[in-house]
């Protein structure tokens, strides 16, 4: 489907409906930290749930931005874990969206001797990468066990 100069492709993957947006102006949608794409995804999910409470979750992506972002965050998580383990000190990442924080938590969920914890509120919420032995380590482990997502 072509809409407003954008080509939109729909597919289903498991419990998700995925809308892949392509086109010449797609970089405007995915510029910066991708808030426009995240907002479209939130609206699409709300609309779907209004029609059907059991509707599959909607994922909106622009030119593979989500996959690239996930790869970048995975590398960021690995570097932070190495820095925390090498220094024995907690590493605080910059504030990020709930979606990005979750990617970090999941990426480090099985990291040996490392736990993660979210701290702060609102748009200032950030992930702490905590090495074993640091004062926050036990809190981070308890938090990850409670939430089931790594912190």
Beta partners for residue 59, in sequence order: 18
Tell me the torsion sign for CA atoms 37, 41, 46, 51: positive
Average pLDDT over residues 100-106: 93
pLDDT at 137 over 90: no
**Cβ–Cβ under 8 Å, residues 117 and 139:** yes
Instruction: Please give the residue that has the higher pLDDT: either 95 or 24.
Output: 95
Q: Which helix (H) or strand (E) covers residue 26, if one does?
A: helix 26-30
- CA 120 – CA 105 distance, rounded (Å): 15
Instruction: State the SS3 of 35-97.
Output: HHHHHHHHHHHHHHHHHCCCCCEEEEEECCHHHHHHHHHHHHHHHHHHHHHHHCCCEECCCCC
pTM of the model: 0.71
Question: Which pLDDT score, from 0 to 100, does residue 52 have?
Answer: 92
Structural domains of the chain, with CATH: 2-63 (3.30.300.20), 68-147 (3.30.1370.50)
Q: Rounded to the nearest 5°, which phi and psi values hold at 59?
A: -115, 125
pLDDT at 138 over 90: no
pLDDT at 70 over 60: yes
Cα 20-25-29 angle, rounded to 5 deg: 60
Gyration radius of the chain over CA positions: 18
* Mean residue pLDDT across the chain: 86
Question: Which pLDDT score, from 0 to 100, does residue 99 have?
Answer: 84
For residue 35, give the nearest of 97, 125, 126 by alpha carbon. 97
pLDDT digits (tens, 9 = 90+) for 2-59: 777 788 899 988 888 998 888 877 877 777 667 788 888 899 999 999 999 998 889 8
């Amino acid at each position: 489907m072509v809409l407003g100069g954008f080509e939109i492709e729909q597919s289903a993957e498991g419990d998700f409906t995925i809308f892949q947006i392509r086109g010449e102006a797609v970089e405007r949608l995915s510029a910066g930290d991708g808030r426009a794409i995240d907002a479209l995804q939130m609206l699409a999910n709300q609309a779907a749930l209004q029609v059907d409470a059991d509707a599959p979750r909607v994922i909106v992506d622009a030119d593979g931005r989500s996959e690239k972002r996930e790869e970048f965050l995975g590398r960021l998580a690995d570097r932070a874990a190495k820095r925390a383990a090498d220094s024995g000190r907690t590493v605080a990442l910059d504030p990020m969206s709930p979606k990005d924080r979750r990617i970090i938590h999941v990426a480090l969920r099985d990291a040996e001797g490392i736990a993660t914890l979210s701290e702060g509120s609102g748009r200032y919420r950030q992930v702490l990468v905590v090495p074993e032995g640091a004062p926050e380590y036990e809190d981070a482990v308890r938090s990850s066990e409670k939430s089931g997502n790594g912190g």
